[in-house]
Amino acid sequence: MKKTLVLTIILVLSLLIGAGLSRTLLAQQKDGVKSIELPAMVFDLADGPNRDKAAGFCAICHGAEYIPMQPKMSKAQWTATVTKMVKAFGAPIPQEDADKISEYLGGAYGTGK
Amino acid sequence: MGVHHFTRREFLKAAGTVTAVTALGGMPFDALAAPYERRLVKFPEKTNLILLTSRPPQLETPLSYFKEQITPNDAVFVRWHISEIPTSVDLAEWRLKVGGNTEKELQLSFGDLAKFEKVSYTAVIQCAGNGRSFFDPRVPGGQWKNGAMANVTWGGARLKDVLNAAGLKAGSVDVSFNGLDRGPLPSVPDFVKSLAMDHALEEDIIIAYEMNGKPLTMLNGFPARLIVPGLYATYWVKSLSDISVNTKAFEGFWMNPAYRIPDTECGCIPPGSKPSRTIPIHRMSTRSLIITPTEGETLKTNKPVNITGVAFSGGYGIKDVIASTDGGRSWSQAGLGKDLGKYSWIQFTLPWKPAKAGTYTLMAKATNSIGDSQPFEGLWNPAGYLWNKVEPLTVKVK
């Protein structure tokens, strides 16, 4: 009795796994379709006032890594960068928030100048 | 609009995912390392590459892959500009639209494209910002080291043949190219590039649907991308969807103000200054790079070693490469490897047997067939383009 149950479970599991595998294979084999799944990656920004504002607005268009990747910049350079995001790249950041984000970046990722 | 941020717990969860993905590749990876550092990540159809950014993806090739003359598809660097990149393409649906100032509008299927005469050659693909992280003073942008380049054999249809099939009408001045990538918002400028009409009709520009004999990887522009050999890869529009023949010069954001260099002989200006006039970036500068031995490697006294590397230029081939083992005081002619044509890189080798223990500075300097070579000091421009300095590499001999 116990043996039958174990065998049944194994059979059901193999069928399920088999069905899953063949579905995957079919999806990959459909002629002329190429699909990829991008890995989800999340990066912590450095602590500081208005960190959440920066993280939120910047994430509309790009991953947070764009920020720590940059060389350390002065407050003026970070302000110019945020202005570029708004004016050139069309980021919908109200001026008041843009100012706070520049302040944050100049502090957390700045040269101190 | 919702402003959100990730909690520590969500971060750990996401970091765990990344670690798991990378663990499959068996390469070192520390998702929790802070602050930001260059690390290896695994993306679809790619081997472990160095992460610059994840969204949109910018992935750099570790230099060890440049020991080979041809870069394997899974090691070719990745660089997208705007975040909504194609992740699924059904070739039954995909069409390449060719129109604008043409006799007729074409809607080419993948099969239609393959019916044009197939052209194949090897060409270096290099990001305009390759080497940007070495600029002094530093400049913002993708902080590439030297791995935003690859040498690939491309196969596809001539752009010229495709344009002629559509029939160019009088008054055509340039051609613009758009791909499947989009900005996350309509306000974000779409990535569109253009070539002047006479350039677009050059024999060697192709719409490639093969890299190294295989379909393009999704992240390198499946199903077809423009190949403009000799020019920086900014013109090599990925996942092509629209080709438009224009009666007025196309002036989109990615032609102006983006991807421009100072209008000076060297494309450079005094460090930290502003250019008075700019032009679109164009041909690649001549450059070379030592691949072996590697920076900081320890070699043995009296044991022969080959100094090897790659050299290429903006479509003019390489005439010679000289190399130095004493920081540039004396130079020797390096031997050149197989010539795969003027757009390919060529491998160079200089046999060396260090007789004395000590620290040595190795250098290589390439000259192309029209006499252009490499500077000993890094050129500077505000966007961090055209990096081609003779790079010193230090090794120890014990």
B136-175 per-position pLDDT tens digit: 999 999 999 999 999 999 999 999 999 999 999 999 999 9
Residue A47 in contact with partner chain B when CB distance is under 8 A? no
B20 assigned to some structural domain: yes
Query: In A, which residues are within 8 Å of B186 by CB distance?
Result: 90
pLDDT of residue B349: 98
pLDDT of residue A2: 55
B129-138 per-position pLDDT tens digit: 999 999 999 9
Instruction: Work out the percent of chain B whose per-residue pLDDT is above 90.
Output: 90
Mean of the pLDDT values across residues B378-397?
98
A21 has pLDDT over 90: no
B9-50 per-position pLDDT tens digit: 333 333 333 333 333 333 333 333 345 688 999 999 999 999
Bridge partners for B256 per DSSP: none
Rounded to an integer, what distance in angstroms lies between the CA atom of residue B293 and that of residue B301? 14
**Could you give the number of structural domains in chain B?**
3
Domain ranges of chain A: 1-37, 51-108
CATH number of the CATH domain containing B370: 2.60.40.650
**Same structural domain, B291 and B254:** no
Inter-chain residue contact B91 with A31, CB threshold 8 Å: yes
Residue B376 in contact with partner chain A when CB distance is under 8 A? no
* Geometric angle at alpha carbon B363, from B144 and B344, rounded to 5°: 60
Q: What is the mean pLDDT of chain B?
A: 92
CATH number of the CATH domain containing B238: 3.90.420.10
Inter-chain residue contact B110 with A32, CB threshold 8 Å: yes
Domain A51-108 matching CATH 1.10.760.10: the answer reads yes
pLDDT of residue A49: 97
Considering only the beta carbons, identify the residue of A37, A71, A88 that sits closest to B138: A71
B252-265 per-position pLDDT tens digit: 999 999 999 999 99
A48-76 per-position pLDDT tens digit: 999 999 999 999 999 999 999 999 999 99
A12 has pLDDT over 70: no
Q: What is the separation, in whole angstroms, between the first and last Cα of chain B?
A: 62
Inter-chain residue contact A32 with B184, CB threshold 8 Å: no
Range of the domain at B61: 8-67
What backbone phi and psi angles, to 5 degrees, belong to B187?
Answer: -75, -15
| CB neighbour list of residue A76: distance below 8 Å, 6 or more residues apart | none
B74 assigned to some structural domain: no
> Burial, A60: exposed, middle or buried (Cβ in 10 Å; 0-12, 13-18, 19+)?
middle
Q: For tokens 């757009």, name the residue.
A: B343
**Same structural domain, B220 and B124:** yes
ipTM given for this complex = 0.87
**Same structural domain, B238 and B300:** no
**Same structural domain, B136 and B248:** yes
What backbone phi and psi angles, to 5 degrees, belong to B254?
Answer: -80, -5
Of B19, B50, B67, the one marking the end of a domain is: B67
**Same structural domain, B239 and B123:** yes
B2 assigned to some structural domain: no
